[in-house]
């Protein structure tokens, strides 16, 4: 149920992503024209084992009439499982037909089920659904299983049902590993929602939500569980998007989680540890070739620049900020084309990305040039692993710099890229698992076309990447842009330079400055200078923040930021102003009430 498609399509996607096996979800079989024997051979042909059949519902704690019907239903399903060659059945705790809460009745009836299953060489994994009528916790399920004391009956542990109830996963320490017959993993965002709807619509793959699934897996392994780790993710988006893509996302999640769990257990048999990206090595743009970007970069003081010895790309440098302008691959929608992340070890970072299901993109490389590898981010941007500039393998040496001017910027402060709503969970996992970034903040920015969800990620070396999800109705509408934020000590001076050289900046309404004055009581002269140049301002206990945006150059905005003291944010309060201004420019409006 993690995937969209028919049973055949799901199996193909699961196999292509690299999984060993799958849980067969009854509705997928019932709606399929494949016979059980067909499913069995199809799975075998794809190299997949059917690890579990599920769900078997509402068996226990019922009255005698219902029990007779349930035993009949169970026998049929056990026969079916024999045809399929599946040896574990998932039994969910009763959510519907239980007539009382008595453990005695549950133990009695689970014993009947265990003996029926054992007769056919099948085991039952009993799972407490968080919304179960009387059995809703894993410790309760385990207490019943222990009393039944039958080798064909154990528990299924599902991280969702345990963590959604706020239960300390340490409860697992009381269950012997061999009595856990199956382990299902799901992460979820923290929501204030009833558990059933939370579970059926909002699960995500481990690493994409708010829980610590690596800890959960480490615990399950520590108590001796050696069965499959299976992803059971009910999610409205995954159920309607490409199954191949979702399966790859799922595979990455499982490998990353397993690797992190092994790390916690002090074992090196997991995946390579993340090569945490240290610094933004470069940003590559492929603008339309009308020279506007070059004019803006010149005005901004990127006076140190030059061409690549062999390729149609230019490098613009200022301090640690390096921009590459690709003259060969200009496109109509010229967004951020590539980001280069400096890593300790390019080969190790590449191996890890490969293990996590990425493909290394083909790249034009000549002898004697630095080795960089690239993979594709969920929004299509190319993500390069680059050697550190100090490493002696600096790719920038391949450029012939023709100018050596003053250094206005110290670094790339952050980048903001657009991300489709369908892939925002995948994107979070991508940046966390491949580059070692972690979520700093998530917010909703009100804009003229709806709320823009913004997810800010941060790396240990100070790299900041924010992803903006464009509102649905705004799809295909102009007024959105990626942005590149450059850090400087003096926004005002740059504002003057931009104004002198005629580079357009984003218009800012006067109402904004009246509001700033009300909120911050700025010195009138300072406020007036902000207003004159369209500078945005924010302040909190840790410091001050000044921002200035160019008008979009193709689909990229250059932002100039000045952080004073320890201000850590991105001027979130100013983001609606930027959205409104971009919309105004995109619709050809002029920034005046007259």
Site for Mg ion, rule CB under 5 A? 158, 184, 232
Partners of 50 in beta bridges: 22
Is 92 an interacting residue with respect to ligand DHB (CB under 6 A)?
yes
Closest separation between CB of residue 99 and ligand DHB, Å?
20
Distance between terminal CA atoms of the chain? 57
Q: Which of 187, 232, 284, 413 binds ligand DHB (CB under 6 A)?
A: 232
CA dihedral in degrees (323, 326, 332, 337; nearest 10)? Answer: -50
Closest separation between CB of residue 184 and ligand DHB, Å?
6
Is 554 an interacting residue with respect to ligand DHB (CB under 6 A)?
no
β-pair type (438-447, 482-488): unpaired
Cβ proximity to ligand DHB: between 208 and 559 the closer is 208
Q: How many residues belong to the chain?
A: 594
Is 200 an interacting residue with respect to ligand DHB (CB under 6 A)?
yes
184 is in an annotated binding site: yes
Nearest to 203 by CA among 242, 164, 261: 164
Closest separation between CB of residue 157 and ligand DHB, Å?
10
Cβ proximity to ligand DHB: between 127 and 555 the closer is 127
Closest separation between CB of residue 250 and ligand DHB, Å?
16
Closest separation between CB of residue 92 and ligand DHB, Å?
5
Cβ proximity to Mg ion: between 50 and 375 the closer is 50
Is 199 an interacting residue with respect to ligand DHB (CB under 6 A)?
yes
Residues 283/340, Cβ–Cβ less than 8 Å: yes
Q: Give me the 149-168 binding string for ligand DHB, x by CB under 6 A, dash otherwise.
A: ---------x----------
Closest separation between CB of residue 181 and ligand DHB, Å?
13
Q: Which does 200 bind (CB under 5 to 8 A by kind): Mg ion, ligand DHB, none?
A: ligand DHB
Burial (Cβ within 10 Å: 0-12, 13-18, ≥19) of residue 590: exposed
Pair of tokens at residue 201:
């619509």
Q: Which of 81, 117, 129, 280 binds ligand DHB (CB under 6 A)?
A: 129
Is 127 an interacting residue with respect to ligand DHB (CB under 6 A)?
yes
Nearest to 436 by CA among 484, 383, 486: 383
Nearest to 589 by CA among 551, 533, 547, 537: 551
The residue of the chain with the least Cβ separation from ligand DHB equals: 55
Within 502-574, residue ranges assigned H as helices are: 510-520, 524-533
Is 72 an interacting residue with respect to ligand DHB (CB under 6 A)?
no
Identify the DSSP state of 235: B
Kindly write down the DSSP assignment for every residue of 406-444, as one continuous string. Answer: -B-EEEEEEEEEEE-GGGHHHHHHHHHHHH--EEEEEEE
| Tokens 């339309």 sit on residue | 288
CA atoms lying within 13 Å on the CB side of residue 208: 28
Closest separation between CB of residue 105 and ligand DHB, Å?
22
Q: Which does 538 bind (CB under 5 to 8 A by kind): ligand DHB, Mg ion, none?
A: none
Closest separation between CB of residue 23 and ligand DHB, Å?
8
Q: Which of 17, 50, 54, 183 binds ligand DHB (CB under 6 A)?
A: 54
Helix (H) or strand (E) holding 40: helix 36-45
Q: Which of 36, 55, 340, 479 binds ligand DHB (CB under 6 A)?
A: 55
Helix (H) or strand (E) holding 453: strand 450-458
Cβ proximity to ligand DHB: between 184 and 379 the closer is 184
Burial (Cβ within 10 Å: 0-12, 13-18, ≥19) of residue 339: buried
Nearest to 203 by CA among 160, 168, 170: 160
Cβ proximity to Mg ion: between 166 and 476 the closer is 166
Give the Cα separation of 162 and 159 in Å (integer). 5
Q: Which does 471 bind (CB under 5 to 8 A by kind): ligand DHB, Mg ion, none?
A: none
Nearest to 354 by CA among 379, 382, 373: 373
158 is in an annotated binding site: yes
Residues 325/296, Cβ–Cβ less than 8 Å: no
Closest separation between CB of residue 185 and ligand DHB, Å?
11
365 is in an annotated binding site: no
Is 559 an interacting residue with respect to ligand DHB (CB under 6 A)?
no
Could you check whether the bond before residue 55 is cis, i.e. omega within 30 degrees of 0?
A: yes
Sign, CA torsion 18/24/27/30: positive
Closest separation between CB of residue 229 and Mg ion, Å?
13
Q: Which does 199 bind (CB under 5 to 8 A by kind): Mg ion, ligand DHB, none?
A: ligand DHB
Size of the site for ligand DHB (CB under 6 A): 11
Is 275 an interacting residue with respect to ligand DHB (CB under 6 A)?
no
Cβ–Cβ contacts within 10 Å for residue 325, how many?
23
Cβ proximity to ligand DHB: between 94 and 326 the closer is 94
Q: Which residues line the annotated binding site for a divalent metal cation?
A: 127, 158, 184, 232
Residues in contact with ligand DHB by the rule CB under 6 A: 54-55, 90, 92, 127, 129, 158, 184, 199-200, 232
Q: Which residues line the annotated binding site?
A: 127, 158, 184, 232, 414, 483, 559
């Amino acid at each position: 149920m993690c995937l969209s498609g028919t049973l055949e399509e799901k199996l193909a996607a699961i196999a292509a992503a690299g999984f060993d096996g799958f849980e067969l979800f009854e509705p997928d079989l019932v709606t399929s024209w494949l016979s059980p024997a067909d499913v069995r051979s199809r799975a075998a042909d794809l190299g997949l084992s059917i690890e579990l059949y599920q769900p078997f519902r509402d068996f226990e704690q019922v009255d005698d009439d219902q029990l007779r019907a349930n035993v009949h239903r169970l026998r049929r399903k056990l026969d079916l499982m024999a045809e399929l060659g599946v040896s574990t059945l998932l039994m969910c705790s009763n959510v519907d037909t239980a007539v009382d809460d008595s453990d005695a009745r549950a133990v009695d009836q689970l014993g009947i089920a265990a003996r029926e299953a054992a007769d056919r060489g099948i085991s039952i994994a009993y799972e407490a659904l968080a919304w179960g009528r009387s059995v809703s916790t894993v410790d309760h399920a385990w207490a019943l299983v222990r009393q039944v004391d039958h080798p064909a009956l154990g528990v299924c542990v599902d991280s969702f049902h345990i963590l959604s109830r706020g239960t300390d996963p340490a409860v697992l320490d009381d269950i012997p590993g061999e009595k856990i017959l199956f382990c299902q993993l799901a992460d979820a965002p923290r929501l204030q929602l009833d558990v059933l709807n939370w579970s059926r619509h909002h699960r995500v793959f481990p690493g994409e939500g708010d829980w610590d699934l690596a800890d959960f897996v480490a615990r399950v392994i520590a108590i001796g569980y050696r069965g499959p780790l299976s992803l059971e993710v009910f999610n409205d988006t995954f159920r309607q998007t490409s199954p191949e893509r979702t399966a790859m996302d799922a595979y990455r999640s499982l490998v990353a989680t397993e690797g992190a769990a092994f790390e916690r257990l002090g074992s090196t048999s997991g995946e390579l540890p993340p090569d945490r990206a240290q610094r933004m090595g470069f940003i590559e743009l492929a603008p339309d070739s009308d020279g506007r970007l070059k004019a803006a970069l010149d005005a901004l003081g990127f006076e140190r620049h030059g061409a690549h010895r062999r390729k149609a790309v230019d490098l613009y440098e200022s301090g640690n900020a390096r921009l590459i302008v690709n003259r060969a691959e200009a496109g109509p929608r010229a967004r951020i084309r590539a980001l280069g992340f400096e890593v300790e070890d390019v080969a190790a970072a590449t191996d890890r990305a490969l293990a996590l299901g990425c493909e290394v993109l083909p790249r034009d490389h000549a002898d004697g040039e630095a080795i960089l590898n690239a993979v594709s981010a969920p929004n299509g941007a190319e993500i390069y692993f680059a050697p550190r500039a100090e490493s002696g393998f600096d790719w920038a040496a391949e450029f012939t710099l023709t100018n050596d001017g003053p250094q206005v910027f110290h670094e790339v402060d952050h980048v903001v890229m657009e991300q489709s709503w369908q892939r925002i969970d995948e994107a979070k996992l991508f940046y966390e698992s491949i580059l070692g970034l972690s979520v700093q903040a998530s917010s909703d920015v009100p804009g003229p076309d709806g709320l823009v969800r913004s997810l800010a990620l941060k790396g240990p070396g100070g790299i900041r990447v924010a992803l903006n999800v464009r509102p649905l109705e705004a799809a295909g509408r102009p007024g959105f842009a990626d942005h590149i934020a450059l850090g400087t000590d003096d926004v005002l001076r740059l504002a003057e330079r931009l104004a002198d050289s005629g580079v357009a900046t984003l218009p800012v309404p006067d109402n904004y400055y009246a509001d700033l004055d009300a909120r911050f009581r700025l010195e009138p002269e300072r406020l007036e200078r902000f207003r004159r140049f369209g500078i945005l301002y924010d302040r909190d206990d840790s410091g001050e923040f000044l921002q200035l945006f160019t008008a979009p150059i193709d689909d990229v905005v250059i932002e100039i930021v000045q952080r004073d003291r320890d201000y850590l944010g991105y001027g979130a309060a100013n983001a609606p102003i930027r959205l409104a201004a971009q919309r105004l420019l995109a619709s050809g409006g002029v920034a005046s009430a007259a």
